[in-house]
Structure 1
Amino acid sequence: MPPRCSRPTFYFFLKTGYFDISAELKPLLHTWSLAVEEHYYILFPLALMPLWRHGRKLILPVFAAIFVASLLFAQWSVHRHPSMAFYLLPARAWEILLGTLCAILLSRKEQPMLMAPQWLNQLGSLIGLALIVVAIFAFDGKTLSPGPAMLVPTVGAALIILFARPGTIANSVLGLPGVVLIGIVSYSAYLWHQPALAFFRLYFVEDPSHGVALALIALVFALAWLTYRYVETPFRARGALNLTRRQVFAFALLGLLAMGVIGFAGHHWRGFPSRNEQTLRLGQNGGLSFACSGAELDDKRCQSKPDPKIILWGDSYAMHLAQALADVYPDQGLWQMTLSSCPPVPGYMDAPIKAAITCDAYNERVIQRLRTLPHPEQYTVVMSSTSNLSGKVFREGTSRTFKELGALGYKLVLVSATPRYGGTLKCLKMHARQDGDFSSCTFDFKDTMNYTFFPAQRKFSEEHNVRFVDLSKLFCDGQSCGIQKDGVLLLRDEGHMSTESTGKLAAFLRGELRPAAAQVAGTAAGQAR
């Protein structure tokens, strides 16, 4: 069996965020499930060994209890921390443990499942088949995973394992030669399917048509059969490859070293963007520094000058404002306090978990610093997020923050997110690969996903006497919006500003904030006197 690595489950979990590309475009996304299995294969024997030696009667109840605990954790975390629930073992263990419980039942000396009457085998296996068919046709991208709905296919599979005995309809159906062949190559097909679909979408931008999808499926199964025949089978057959253990480990080590060198080079050169100069225009915009996503507040890389007076607080939709704001306020200086995927709302607990610091901990760090800064009247706090801070989830926390900071003397500015249109990413990829002209990437403002956010946030800002900057004015002329202006590309994806847009963005913000800038300058001059 080809070697599997346990790192992808943590990689995809930690990389989830606003800068992340969509899952359907990641060629190796499916390796997370192999990594979850790998973790299970390590931990399960360690948990089984003491029970096997000292309490075999406890094996079934102990693993049943772990199954229930994992299932309950999955239902809790899929709503609060969906990325963690999807990628990590604690919320996924119940799915594998269900198969373990089946194996325990079937391994008992009394073989209770084999003694079941034929009518029960028939009924149980048919229900299992029906549950799997229901999941195939009823589930879609909106189905929560691993939510309660995942019990449908997993319980269905368990029922087939337990009841699909010889003589049942399910056993006959699953024993058909074509179905058996699919089962034989299924592991290899799983390895091939995601790269085939992802590379197609990356190159052709559009989703495959039905005809193309069928052709891709045929290609996947052809590759799967070749992999099964020339990789899986030889590795399974003892002595078929005529390799010693030392040679196998030597080849594995060389492969790991080669992949490590390639991976390090790709990381160092940020994915070899020079292979297409247009892709450089789609590079991430981290503001003053990419380190400013969750950095220590006194990190000098996140301050455009000593003792900065303009504080930028928010998620990655604040990060892309940083350099432009630094250009708008060159004398006052900018202080970037940002964490991607983390709206600037103290006490908000439902943001994705980050590797370095959680959202609620970071926001608490920011608000505590703002409470203790001397002469807060000298500072302007600019807040921005892709989330609707005037919406139900954020309204109370944002309102409380506005009132507290306003009472302390801070001047407050709320900057909207950019108008987000679903077709932007595809248009970007198409023209980045072709001509680099994005003037045809236009859309109607009313068709944007966050169309209602702008008037709602304007009203909310007026209620709290907070200056509001509407970024839709930069993109839209009336109802028509575009992502390129005067040859300058404004967006790098569906919502984040590109690095080349900094000049245009600075000019726009200067026009919107000029009275505020003059007020800050006057305050600073008065303090100096």
Structure 2
Amino acid sequence: MAHRNIAVLISIALAVLTYHALEKPLAQRVVRRGRLAVILASLMACFGGAVGLIHWEKMPFAPVSYANAKLLNYEMPEIHSSGKIVLLGDSNAGHMVYGLSLLYGERLKHYATPGWPYLDGVRYRPGFVPHPDHVGSPEITQKALEEIEADPTIRLVIISNSYLMYLPGDNLRSISGAATSETVAQAYEAGMYRTAQRLQARGKKVLLIKSIPNYSMLATVKACVAEVRPQLRHQPEDCRRSRAVIESERAEYDGIIKRIEAGLPAVRTFNTLDVLCDAQYCYVERDGILMYIDPGHYTTAGSQLMGAAVAKYIEQMLLARNGMN
């Protein structure tokens, strides 16, 4: 009986020993190998799927030229007017140069400086530190306006700037003659009015181009382009914005423009929303054409389409017998 008990104990001990010394390590190796096999199989499946998507052109393999290719065919208005045209403003004006230059050539002259609206009697707010690339000053505004006034061949001045650079940034003030409590909106409006009034007094026609919508909530506008984005991925919701919301957000700005129109009846305005939006939404990419190179500026194609629309309006202004629409 004792020998039998000893044999049982030895058997149990050997079983425990062989489990820990042999069976358990072998089982762990098998599990690890199994996991490795699953991982490798998954990677191979993903690779094969990607190759298939590329083959069937569902996902681009190489970068696609998406943004700044010019339009080869688009509707361009006939140009019958004469005289020079000046484009005056910040980088919004700068991004319109290409589209208008295709139509007006050497007749077009521009004064465009990033972050500077070229408003008469306006400066950066004391204490405000502009971006290093924003080098505008009252001196360059004065120089530009004097050159425009002195050239009798200039018939029309287009003023274009992004109000979102100024009103939310609280970065402008009048140089003189304003109350210490003056707000950026008051300085912006007074400067815009003085500029248009000064040009009009010299016999120049004035066209105010209203600011374009901004898509600062987008990390990149590339996500809005079908040719770049895989077809299995939906376009981000922020690639389009409600027109009603945009119009609500710019109510203060629209009020400024309306008061200038009321005070200077000969001044005309062009609403960019009519080109960039339909009745319901405004778009980064519209009708298959990417309009924005970044959240707040035109692509080459966008400049062409906006330039064509603005030129059509310009021709109506310049060819009207009494100078009015």
TM-score where L is the length of structure 1? 0.37
Q: 1:392 maps to what in 2?
A: 186
Query: How far apart are 1:456 and its partner, in Å?
Result: 3.8
Q: Which of 137, 159, 166 in structure 2 is aligned with 1:383?
A: 159
- Residue 292 (structure 2) pairs with residue 491 (structure 1): yes
* Paired residues for 1:114-125 under 5 Å: none
The separation in 1 between residues aligned to 2:200 and 2:305, in whole angstroms, is 30
Q: 1:100 maps to what in 2?
A: none
Q: Which of 216, 241, 244 in structure 2 is aligned with 1:443?
A: 241
Q: Which of 261, 283, 303 in structure 2 is aligned with 1:461?
A: 261
The separation in 2 between residues aligned to 1:486 and 1:316, in whole angstroms, is 25
Tell me if structure 2 keeps the 8 A contact 1:442–1:482: yes
Query: How far apart are 1:447 and its partner, in Å?
Result: 3.1
Deviations 1:250-289 (A, max 9, x none): xxxxxxxxxxxxxxxxxxxxxxxxx7334x5169xxxxxx
Larger Rg: 2
The separation in 2 between residues aligned to 1:360 and 1:494, in whole angstroms, is 28
* Paired residues for 1:98-109 under 5 Å: none
Query: How far apart are 1:483 and its partner, in Å?
Result: 1.8
Q: 1:372 maps to what in 2?
A: 150
Tell me if structure 2 keeps the 8 A contact 1:328–1:509: no
Deviations 1:294-330 (A, max 9, x none): xxxxxxxxxxxxx970011100011111122223435
Q: Which amino acid aligns with 1:445?
A: R
The separation in 1 between residues aligned to 2:298 and 2:111, in whole angstroms, is 18
Q: 1:334 maps to what in 2?
A: 108
Q: 1:406 maps to what in 2?
A: 200
Deviations 1:504-523 (A, max 9, x none): 21332233333124249x99
Q: How many residues of Structure 1 are paired with residues of Structure 2 in the alignment?
A: 220
- Residue 211 (structure 2) pairs with residue 434 (structure 1): no
Query: How far apart are 1:354 and its partner, in Å?
Result: 5.0
TM-score where L is the length of structure 2? 0.58
Between Structure 1 and Structure 2, the one with more helix by share is 1
Q: 1:317 maps to what in 2?
A: 92
Q: 1:277 maps to what in 2?
A: 64
Q: 1:344 maps to what in 2?
A: 118
Structure 1 residue ranges (4+ consecutive) displaced by more than 6 angstroms after TM superposition: 436-440
Q: 1:133 maps to what in 2?
A: none
Tell me if structure 2 keeps the 8 A contact 1:445–1:451: no
Deviations 1:156-199 (A, max 9, x none): xxxxxxxxxxxxxxxxxxxxxxxxxxxxxxxxxxxxxxxxxxxx
Gaps of 5+ in 1: 1-274, 284-306, 524-529
Tell me if structure 1 keeps the 8 A contact 2:89–2:117: yes
Between Structure 1 and Structure 2, the one with more strand by share is 2
The separation in 2 between residues aligned to 1:474 and 1:439, in whole angstroms, is 21
Determine helix, strand or coil for the equivalent of 1:323: helix
The separation in 1 between residues aligned to 2:309 and 2:216, in whole angstroms, is 24
Tell me if structure 2 keeps the 8 A contact 1:282–1:498: yes
Q: Which of 406, 410, 418 in structure 1 is aligned with 2:212?
A: 418
* Paired residues for 1:505-524 under 5 Å: 505-519=306-320
